[in-house]
């Protein structure tokens, strides 16, 4: 039982991490997200780091 809880906690920690803004992984994630769902800050960061 204890091992299952530890494994579940580790899985939650690993899956909860999001890529750093401006990284290649972040740019790919934003490309897959519908443009209507972006915030103004995300759009600005995407333009700064992924377009230019």
Question: Phi first, then psi: what are they for 34, rounded to 5°?
Answer: -60, 140
Task: Return all residues near 19 (Cβ < 8 A) that are at least 6 apart.
Answer: 25, 26, 29
Q: Tell me the whole-structure pTM to 2 decimals.
A: 0.63
Span 12-50, pLDDT tens digits: 665 567 889 999 999 999 999 999 999 999 999 999 999
């Amino acid at each position: 039982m204890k091992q299952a809880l530890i494994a579940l906690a580790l899985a939650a920690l690993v899956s909860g991490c999001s890529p750093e803004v401006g990284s290649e992984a972040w740019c790919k994630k934003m490309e897959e997200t519908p443009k209507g769902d972006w915030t103004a800050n995300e759009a600005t960061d995407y333009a700064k780091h992924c377009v230019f």
